Every structure is written in C-alpha cells, then in structure tokens.
Structure 1
Amino acid sequence: MIAQAILEIKEYVPQALAHVPILIIAKSAADELVGFMGIDGDTLEMLFVADGFRGRGIGKQLLRTGVDQYGVRRLAVNEHNPDARKFYERMGFVVAGRTDLDEQGNPYPLLLMSLE
C-alpha cells in the first residue's frame, strides 16, 4: 500500500512541477541538485531535500527564502509525516485546518498550516 502510494506520488511530481509558477532549487558545491521548492502565490506547494542532505539546513534555507523573498504564508503537509510537521512548526507555522483527502483525492489527510 505505502509502496504504491510512493510510486503514485513520484509520477505526480513532474506534472506538479510543470504547474508551479516559482521553482527554486538548491545545489551542492559539486553542482548536484540537493533540494527544491515550488511556490504558487503565498503557498508553498512542495519542498524536497534529498535523503543524503537532510539535517544540513537546506530545507530551512529554502523555506526562509520562500517566506522572506516570495511571501510564503501557507502550506499543506501530510498528517502522517510528523517530522515535516515538526519542521514547519519550528519555522513558525501552525496548524490552521485539516482535510480528509490529499490534492489528488486520495485518503491521505493534510494539515493546512499558516505562518503565525
């Protein structure tokens, strides 16, 4: 079940990237892609950091750029991803609502968060 969900999400990401007005990427000193975020208006649509680069401040740096330079004030996070929720809470976001389904209509509840 989880493996199937991951495969579905992997297929969705390239489509989603095509529709995100602002895409910001993070590269390593060796010029390899280590993370990215997509922004639409005041909403963070996606934020990903490669597994081997997590815990190095890349996500924090990306999100700060989104907030400070692009006015990000809202985001949605999968309810079953407590690490992501904690990260966003440390960055000043609070849960403002909840959905029963994700953006594709799948039964993955989302927490709607906003910047305090």
Structure 2
Amino acid sequence: MITIRLSRPEDGARAVDIWRAAVDATHDFLSPADRRAIDAEVADFLPHAPLWLAVDGQDTAIGFMLLDGGRMEALFIHPDHRGTGVGRALVAHALAQHPGLTTDVNEQNTQAVGFYQRLGFRPTGRSDTDGQGRPYPLIHLRHETAR
C-alpha cells in the first residue's frame, strides 16, 4: 500500500538515493560531466526541500514529488517501483490540490514524456535548454483539466 506524506529531515538521504537511481535508469542522455554537476546540485538542495513522498508499508520512501504552487518541479520514482502506480499516485495527489498542474519534462526522456501524456498532460511549449542552460530540451506541459 502506498501512502503519501510530507518529507521530514531524516528523509533527505533517501530522497537523494531515489533521485540518483531514477536518473541512472532514465537519463542516459546526460553527459558524464553534466550528470556529476547536477548530482552535486541535487545533493545540496534536495535533503532540505519540502517534498511529497510516496512511502511503502514500512514508511520507506519509494518516490517523491516537489511542488511549487501549481507547478510540479520534480517527480522521481525508484526504479524498483516504476510501473506500480507510485508516480500516478503522486500526480493524482498534486492534481487534487492544483487541477491546472504544470511541469516540464526532458524531451529525451521518452518514457517520462509518454507517462505524462497518458495522465492527461499536453504540451504548451518547448525550450532548447534545461533550466540551467544545459543542452537538454524541455517540453512544457499542463494538465488538460486546466483548459
């Protein structure tokens, strides 16, 4: 059974572990140098961020989401739990709070693009670079309930 709860300070290291495992499983398009640089940024920021965690029956985090108002800034699921409804549950939680939810997805992460499309997100634009100016195009998405 999946439960969704807010993160606590002791969840920080697990969130970073989830991020690393998820990125290693899905972001093979990152250059090694960019992967290292992003890792350093994430390891510094993520443990202190207010996250929504999906936890299992033992209260172990298996995925997380970062919301900033009606914007989903991050959604990462541990690879051992992909395809089990964890991401869908986190997105449903966010949509219950923010029906017009927006997010960005790396264009090269075709699995994530398909995931968001299946959940009703539609493209609203595109950027040639990520938020830090790196050469990883982003697709800007909005959930169709916003229309």
Q: Compute the TM-score of the two structures, normalised by the length of structure 2.
A: 0.70
Equivalent residue letter for 2:83 = G
Distance 1:30 1:72, change over 3 A: farther
Q: Give yes or no for contact 1:44–1:72 (8 Å, CA) kept in 2.
A: no
3-state SS in 2 of match to 1:113 = strand
Q: Higher strand fraction: Structure 1 or Structure 2?
A: 1
3-state SS in 1 of match to 2:54 = strand
CA distance in 2: counterparts of 1:27 and 1:4, whole angstroms: 32
Structure 2 segments unaligned to the other structure (5+ residues)? 1-29
Q: Give yes or no for contact 1:39–1:72 (8 Å, CA) kept in 2.
A: no
Equivalent residue letter for 2:70 = D
Q: Which of 83, 101, 111 lines up with 1:55 in the alignment?
A: 83
1:3 aligns with 2:32: yes
Q: Higher helix fraction: Structure 1 or Structure 2?
A: 2
Larger radius of gyration: 2
Matches within 5 A, 1:27-46: 27-46=55-74
How many equivalent pairs are there? 115
How far off is 1:62 after superposition? 0.2
Say what the alpha-carbon RMSD is for the aligned residues.
1.9
CA distance in 2: counterparts of 1:27 and 1:40, whole angstroms: 21
CA distance in 1: counterparts of 2:112 and 2:124, whole angstroms: 16
Identity %: 37
- Whose relative contact order is higher, 1 or 2, with alpha carbons under 8 Å and at least 6 apart? 2
Which 4+ residue blocks in structure 1 deviate beyond 6 angstroms? none
Matches within 5 A, 1:6-25: 6-17=35-46, 22-25=50-53
Matches within 5 A, 1:85-104: 85-104=113-132
